[in-house]
Amino acid sequence: MKLTFIKMNITDTIANELVPSRDFPSFKAGDNITVYYTIKEGDKQRTQLFKGDVLQTKGTGATETFTVRKISHSVGVERIFPLNSPLIEKIEVNKKGRVRRAKIYYLRELTGKKARIKEVKS
Amino acid sequence: MPGLIGKKIGMTSIFSEEGKNIPCTILEVGPCMVTQIKTEEIDGYNAVQLGYDDKKESRVGKAALGHFKNAKSSPLKKLVEFGSDFDEALLGVTYNADLFQEGDFVSISGTSKGKGFQGVVKRHNFRGVGDATHGQHNRLRAPGSIGAASYPARVFKGMRMAGQTGNARVKVDNLQVVKVLVEKNMVVVKGAVPGAKNSYITIEK
């Protein structure tokens, strides 16, 4: 049997200590999610929703990010969120999508009926 | 200025209280031991020599071993001189990361990553030739003219040309200390620090 020694990268160990990891439901590329994002304007605070398809998740640990794409007034809008950002209130997974890739950049080229993602039937 | 010797650990990003993402470099800083105190009478100037990073005793020459013995310190890999304005600098005293506080602005010097022999576009941010056609056979990244003709009939000193890039001592000023992890002897600063991971750096207040 091959022995594997897991030696944690010091940078990651410390980064994970400095950035507390958030507890969100798991999602991946192809899923449709809603991100509840806090916006601060002066002393006022409000929550903004961003609902769309996940194009990719990128990185690990403290620096993990994910990209959400939505069509707003027939213009594609993409937003990249740091997963562990304290400004994310919660994430809701609306649909689990069936895609064959980890990064579904091809969705950018598609519009209308072609841009639909099949839902996983559980 | 008082300073310490350390090592670059790596980069990451953390979140500020407002939720902003701050790019950070994690540095190991100290423990640094005072190995020599230079004085005006003996050495002609005042300075404090600090040592960092333990070394096997079998890898130290006899002269160096004597130097460490005088300082009551174990053999150390890296010795650096700093100015003399340390609090109670005595032989064998150890300084830790708690010399720095959150919010301090520090200067960090290190040896930048070597890029080898590079042309002027990479080395001096020359723009190269804008066109790929119109007779530009093979001079897309050429420096262009380096001077006039029969007067002055020479190339001025200091003309920026191709050559070794990187692998030089670089100092970055005004990096803000974001976090100090005293028990780990680590300091987190905002921004980038010259050099590769695990390379030695000096950090000054």
pLDDT given for residue A47 in this prediction: 92
Contact between A14 and B11 using a beta-carbon 8 Å cutoff:
no
Main-chain dihedrals φ then ψ at residue B121, nearest 5 degrees: -70, -45
pLDDT given for residue B95 in this prediction: 86
pLDDT given for residue A7 in this prediction: 56
At B144, list the tokens.
């262009």
Count of CA atoms in the C-beta half-sphere (13 A) of A8: 10
Q: Where is average pLDDT lowest: A9-18, B15-24, B118-127?
A: A9-18
Q: Which residue of B9, B19, B179 is in closest CB contact with A18?
A: B179
B145-164 confidence digits (pLDDT tens) = 999 999 999 999 999 999 99
Nearest CA in chain B to A84: B15
Q: Average pLDDT of A84-107?
A: 92
Contact between A11 and B26 using a beta-carbon 8 Å cutoff:
yes
A20-38 confidence digits (pLDDT tens) = 888 899 999 999 999 999 9
Task: Tell whether the model's pLDDT for residue B92 goes beyond 60.
Answer: yes
Task: Tell whether the model's pLDDT for residue A6 goes beyond 60.
Answer: no
Task: Tell whether the model's pLDDT for residue A51 goes beyond 60.
Answer: yes
Q: How far is A81 from chain B (nearest CA, A)?
A: 10
Task: Kindly list the residues from chain B whose CB atom is less than 8 angstroms away from the CB atom of residue A63.
Answer: 12-13
pLDDT given for residue B132 in this prediction: 84
pTM: 0.83
Task: Tell whether the model's pLDDT for residue B71 goes beyond 80.
Answer: yes
- From residue B58, alpha-carbon distances to A19, B16, B68, B76, B78 in Å are 41, 46, 13, 12, 16
Contact between B15 and A9 using a beta-carbon 8 Å cutoff:
no
Question: Is the minimum CB–CB distance between A11 and chain B shorter than 8 Å?
Answer: yes
Collapsed DSSP state (helix, strand, coil) of residue B95 = strand
Task: Tell whether the model's pLDDT for residue B73 goes beyond 70.
Answer: yes
Positive or negative: CA dihedral B62, B91, B47, B81: positive
Task: Tell whether the model's pLDDT for residue A1 goes beyond 70.
Answer: no
Task: Tell whether the model's pLDDT for residue A69 goes beyond 90.
Answer: yes
Alpha helices in chain A (DSSP H): 10-18
B167-184 confidence digits (pLDDT tens) = 999 999 999 999 999 888
Percent over 90 (pLDDT), chain B:
46
B window 143-182, beta carbon within 8 A of A: 179, 181
Q: Please, are residues A70 and A77 in contact by the beta-carbon 8 Å criterion?
A: yes
